[in-house]
Amino acid sequence: MSSIILEARDIRYRYPRGMEAIRGISFHSRKKEKIALVGPNGAGKSTLLTMFNGMTRPDSGMMLFDNQPIQYDRASLRVLRKRVGFVLQNPDRQIIAPTVYQDVAFGPTNLGCSDAEVRDSVSRALRHVGLEGFERRPPHQLSGGEKKRVAIAGVLAMDPDVLVFDEPTSGLDPSGSEDIMELCDELNHEGKTIIISTHDVELAYPWADRAILMLKGKILQEDIPEVAFGNPESVRMAHLSLPMLLELHTELQNRGHALQGKKPRTVLDMMNCIEALFEQSKKPTLPGSITVCNADTDPDALLQGWLASHAQIAIGAMGTRAKQRADTEKITLSFTYGVIDKCILKALRGEDSLILTTAGMVKRVSQRVEAYGRESGSRIPVRDLNGTPVTDNRGSP
């Protein structure tokens, strides 16, 4: 298990002339964890998040980063804020410069980086969020989703270890929300710790490694999501609703169906539960295959050639750059979110599919499919556009 990066020890905080917003919270986050703080408005989620980069100092108790108590002098906070990036709920409050370039350059410039280093950080950050070519654009002319990505790029330009997002999808349409959550996954896959606050149970449930239910400045429950949300009493007390998949699972159990295996986090898990019920009558189907295209490096001719010989195939894209490549190549996408699981579901029906993704996520596809194979016993082949197997090389457990 990886080591602890952020820790709160029995912290309390009262706003000046306000009520006590944090009423005795102990919390920790391990490196590379994805944590969702979930609770109704006023639960204290945003206030708790602001403790993580020293924006707010607890009245009592202690905050630690990398096992060291956070120090609140200017120099220490500067160092801390380079390592813990904070993405505000409202990008208009985070974006301060007249052009996208200047805004993203603000952090590295302030850190005293050279012009070349600043240019490099900005172009890396903009590429990460899929906003290459936006350098000269005035942020106020951008869409809500684009502004959010500029704000994220500004944080990424500092290359933090931890990214804190206050209500990451607030104000975004469904596809903008999917893009941001996918970006969170991509960053996590690259090794960053991600902590979000949200009141959206359906968003937190399949995404988080650990869910922390909050109410009135306290933690009600914290665990893996199927356990944290599996306690109807805590969920009700936190003024939240049960995730739909858990509700369906409970309903099936209540009707006397003996469901096997773990509680479902995804539609794929749910399908496994349901299919296991029908196992006896099910005819075995030879699974289809999943082909992965590296949207960063696979040449156009290879991709177009592959597509020409696989008409009517379902295609999914993961990550902003992969979606941009699909757009450029005029590829109609069947899936833009939860892509790997949807392709696994296709494969289980005996159908083939294609996933366009960014270089860093190719391995993620084979890891997920192989993990599924180990759990379920259904081996689904994953190949690249040349037909070469893509494996995670982890072998069987």
- Closest residue to ligand ADP, based on beta-carbon distance: 18
Minimum distance from residue 14 beta carbon to ligand ADP (Å):
9
Contacts with ligand ADP, 179-218, as mask; x by CB under 6 A: ------------------x---------------------
Distance CA 325, CA 49 (A): 35
Minimum distance from residue 244 beta carbon to ligand ADP (Å):
23
Do β-strands 290-294 and 210-215 pair in parallel, antiparallel, or remain unpaired?
unpaired
Tokens 């592959």 identify what position? 306
Do β-strands 68-69 and 60-65 pair in parallel, antiparallel, or remain unpaired?
antiparallel
Binding segment toward ligand ADP, per CB under 6 A, in 11-19, 157-165, 266-274, 318-326: 11-19
Contacts with ligand ADP by CB under 6 A: the residue count is 13
Q: Which CB sits closer to ligand ADP, 169 or 367? A: 169
Paired tokens of 146: 């684009």
Minimum distance from residue 245 beta carbon to ligand ADP (Å):
24
Binding segment toward ligand ADP, per CB under 6 A, in 39-47, 56-64, 76-84, 177-185: 39-47
In the chain, alpha helices (H)? 45-52, 74-83, 91-94, 100-110, 115-128, 144-156, 174-189, 201-207, 225-228, 232-237, 244-254, 267-277, 300-308, 320-328, 339-348, 362-376
Binding segment toward ligand ADP, per CB under 6 A, in 44-52, 235-243, 272-280, 339-347: 44-52
Minimum distance from residue 219 beta carbon to ligand ADP (Å):
12
Minimum distance from residue 397 beta carbon to ligand ADP (Å):
39
Q: Which CB sits closer to ligand ADP, 89 or 358? A: 89
Residue-by-residue DSSP string for 241-274: ---HHHHHHHHHHHTT----SSPPSSHHHHHHHH
Binding segment toward ligand ADP, per CB under 6 A, in 15-23, 118-126, 266-274, 386-394: 15-23
Q: Does 18 bind ligand ADP (CB under 6 A)?
A: yes
Binding segment toward ligand ADP, per CB under 6 A, in 45-53, 172-180, 270-278, 285-293: 45-53
Tokens 């790997």 identify what position? 340
Q: Find residue 348's DSSP bridge partners.
A: none
Q: Does 21 bind ligand ADP (CB under 6 A)?
A: yes
Q: Does 240 bind ligand ADP (CB under 6 A)?
A: no
Q: Does 47 bind ligand ADP (CB under 6 A)?
A: yes
Nearest CA-CA partner of 341 in 290, 296, 297: 290
> How many helices and strands (H and E) does the chain possess?
16, 14
Q: Which CB sits closer to ligand ADP, 21 or 356? A: 21
Per the CB < 8 A criterion, the answer to whether 362 and 292 are in contact is yes
Q: How many CB atoms lie within 10 A of CB 12?
A: 15
Give the residues lining the site for ligand ADP (CB under 6 A): 15, 18-19, 21, 39, 41-47, 197
